[in-house]
Structure 1
Amino acid sequence: MAKLGNAAAAVKATGGGGVKAKVIGGIVLAVIALIVLFNIFNFADTDANKIGLHYGGGVVEDKKFKSIIPPGSTNKLIGPGDTVYAYPTDQRSYIIGGAGADTDGGDEVTVVSKDNVRLGVRVQVYFTLNRTEETLKSFHERIGLKTDAYEERGWNDMLQSYFRPQIDRALAAVATNYTWAELYNNEAKKSAFQTAASAEFTRLLPAAVGGDYFCGPSYTGNNACGELSFTIQKPTPLDKGIIDGLEAKQRAELAKATQEQKNQQVNVELQSVKQQVAMLGAQGYLLKTAIESGKIQFMVIPQNGNVSIPVPTTAQTTQPNQQAQPTR
């Protein structure tokens, strides 16, 4: 009997261990199932200012373009292993020589003027990314993948690699048509320089990147692409002594103009004096001048009128019965 009892206890214990093993096995299977489901049902999101390019990346399919994921999408179902590359849809900038995002620090573009003066130029370019499906897809495959432009750091590297050389070339090409003083001190010439440089940059950029990947700042995705906004600040000679010389010259010219104006005024007054002398005679002119200056006072006496004119007198008063004392 003792042996039978021990055998029953052993069987009971074995049965309890099997239940625990089944529970653990069920948990493992559930975890595996969840992992499989998460790989089968892959989801993607895009920010409100980002557009996504959906590319396949599964085991049984090629890594090729699948679809556009609009800005602001949430829990967009994509395939297992697929990838979404997000690019900006809002206005962007590339600034040389200023503070802010997408900036080339405090750098300046150096150009040489018509009269061989080296000038520093600060530039601002404002634009948006062309979001036409085929154009955006081409940009990603030709430029984006190579520079990681779908990431912030890669985007800035892309601008530095493709924008900066074309800006340098555009400014250098047109700066030789103007003297340094025209670019520094003549608004009409500076405006013409900016227009010419913008046109040259607009021509060079698509050829460098391989397509019309960039539009103007007013582009929304549903209107015409438009031209990039290209502005420059006042070109400034790198040699500050040139500016000091120009300012000294301007001060001298201003002083000369002021003196010439004074001389002209004196000549006008002299001509007036000559005319009055001719009319009044020398004595008459002197009398007129004395009267006008207040040195001679006169009164108009009405005819047959009684006029009392006070005559100043000098009175000396002495005390009665007082004699002057002799001086010793």
Structure 2
Amino acid sequence: MAKLGTTAVKSGGGVKGKLIGGGIVTVIVIIALFNIFNFADTDANKIGLHYGGGVVEDKKFKSIIPPGSTNSLIGPGDTVYAYPIDQRSYIIGGAGADTDAGDEVTVVSKDNVRLGVRVQVYFTLNRTEDTIKSFHERIGLKTDAYTDRGWNDMLQSYFRPQIDRALSAVATNYVWAELYNNEAKKSEFQTAASKEFTRLLPAAVGGDYFCGPAYNGNNACGELSFTVQKPTPLDKGIIDGLEAKQRAELAKATQEQTNQRVNVELESVKKQVQMLGAQGYLLKTAIESGKIQFMVIPQGTPVSVPTGTATVPADR
């Protein structure tokens, strides 16, 4: 009986051990399957860069995962870095995404006036495979640009300095009043600054990584949209002085017009006096003003007119 009891205990422990062992194996298999069958998704407005990261392979680029992909099979330990493909903006001095709110670029005009300039840049990321791969490896990994915060940091690190340089280089060609209240000069300034920024940015980032806002991956890359608002003197007293000067010039022009009109009227009076004489001109003026009323009586009409002395009213 003792033997039988001992045998029963051993038999029960073996079953329990087998169950525990089987559970562990199952968990290991599940973990292995999850590692083997790794999946990745991308949003409709993002493109994925698939990089290897397994134990037995290098962390090298493998493929592009198109926007809007679901459950794309990737290898164990692989990583997908997602970048935006829709229109993006970098705005200095205004509300919106990717914005330096309340900020502005400071430049110095040709006549040494410090101006504040607000800027809007609209663009898209160049999604050509070799180009976006280069962007990721040169810029994206360094700034974590595949994250929202990293993307904004990337713009601040690479866009802002080139915008500052472009505006500062071009502003020295204009006096401040031209940029402040001359639309033609402001448009010329914006065009020149845009060209300078377009030249500086690829050199700073190391490639043509950014395209115009109309780029969709199948058409020409195009130029970035670069817009500047009215450059404004940082010293508001300068604006007050300009407005006072403009008011004085307007008043002067109005007075000159008044003087010119009076001179024309005087010349007309002189000519009329020469033709009618002084009394004739006074009579004409009195008649035109309604102070003297008269009627024309045809010759031979039997109308008696009382005699008396006509008096020409004096002008009041």
So what's the TM-score if we normalise by structure 1? 0.88
Q: Name the SS for the 1:77 alignment partner.
A: strand
The structure 2 residue matched to 1:71, chosen from 67, 71, 90, is 67
Tell me how far apart the structure 1 counterparts of residues 68 and 31 of structure 2 sit (CA, whole Å): 27
Alignment of 1:120-135 (within 5 A): 120-135=116-131
Compared with structure 1, are the counterparts of its residues 284 and 59 closer, same or farther at alpha carbon in structure 2 (3 Å cutoff)?
A: same
- Return the offset for 1:26: 2.6
Between stretches 49-58 and 189-198, larger displacement belongs to 189-198
1:88 and 2:84 correspond: yes
Give the CA deviation at 1:105.
2.1
What is the distance in 2 between the residues matched to 1:306 and 1:160? 103
Shift of 1:302: 4.8
For residues 305-325 of structure 1, give each alpha carbon's deviation from its aligned partner in whole angstroms, at most 9, with x where no partner exists.
57699xxxxxxxxxxxxxxxx
In 1, the alpha carbon distance for the partners of 2:92 and 2:212 equals 18
Partner of 1:58: 54
Q: CA deviation at 1:11?
A: 4.3
CA distance in 1, matches of 2:28, 2:266: 110
State the alpha-carbon separation in 2 of the partners of residues 120 and 147 from structure 1.
Answer: 29
1:162 aligns with 2:158: yes
Among candidates 278, 281, 287, match of residue 283 of structure 2: 287
What secondary structure is seen at the aligned counterpart in 2 of 1:54? strand
Deviations 1:116-167 (A, max 9, x none): 1111111111111111101111110000000001111111111111111111
How far 1:39 sits from its partner (Å)?
0.5
1:247-273, Cα deviation, whole Å (9 max, x unpaired): 000000000001111111111111221
Alignment-derived partner of residue 102 in structure 1:
98
Once the two structures are overlaid, the 10-residue window that deviates more, 160-169 or 295-304, is 295-304
Confirm or deny that 1:299 pairs with 2:295. Answer: yes
In the alignment, what sits opposite 1:273?
A: 269
Partner Cα distance (2:278, 2:5) in 1: 153
- Partner deviation per Cα, 1:37-64 (whole Å, 9 max, x = no partner): 0010000000000000000000000000
Q: Provide the alpha-carbon RMSD of the alignment.
A: 1.9
For residues 213 and 176 of structure 2, what CA distance do their matches in structure 1 show?
Answer: 31
Query: 1:304: how far off?
Result: 5.4
Which amino acid in the other structure matches residue 295 of structure 1?
K
2:167 corresponds to which letter in structure 1? L
C-alpha separation between the residues in 1 aligned to 2:271 and 2:81? 90
Q: Given residue 59 of structure 1, which amino acid in structure 2 is its aligned partner? A: V
| Aligned equivalent of 1:325 | none
1:140 aligns with 136
Q: Letter of the 1:148 partner, please give it.
A: D
Aligned to 1:319: none
Note the 1:220-259 alignment, pairs <5 A. Answer: 220-259=216-255
Partner of 2:312: none
The structure having more radius of gyration, on CA atoms, is 1
Q: Structure 1: how far apart are the matches of 2:183 and 2:17?
A: 86
Separation (CA, whole Å) in 1 of partners of 2:275 and 2:26 = 124
Give yes or no for the alignment of 1:197 onto 2:193: yes
Superimposed CA distance per residue, residues 146-199 of structure 1 (whole angstroms, 9 cap, x where no aligned partner): 000111111111111111111111111111111111111111111111111111
Note the residue ranges of structure 2 that are not aligned, 5 or more in a row: 306-316
The whole-number CA distance in structure 1 between the counterparts of 2:136 and 2:53 is 16
1:230 counterpart SS class: strand
Query: Does residue 1:38 correspond to 2:34, yes or no?
Result: yes
Q: Distance in 2 between matches of 1:105 and 1:296?
A: 74
- The farther-off stretch of 93-102 and 6-15 is 6-15
Q: 1:206 aligns with which of 192, 202, 205?
A: 202
Unaligned 5+ runs, structure 1: 310-328
Amino acid at match of 1:80: P
Given the alignment of the two structures, is residue 49 of structure 1 paired with residue 32 of structure 2, yes or no?
no
Cα deviation code 1:85-110 (max 9, x no counterpart)? 00010111111111111111211111
CA distance in 1, matches of 2:126, 2:90: 16
TM-score for both structures, normalised by structure 2: 0.92
Change (3 A) 1:11 1:307: farther
Q: Identity of aligned pairs, percent?
A: 86
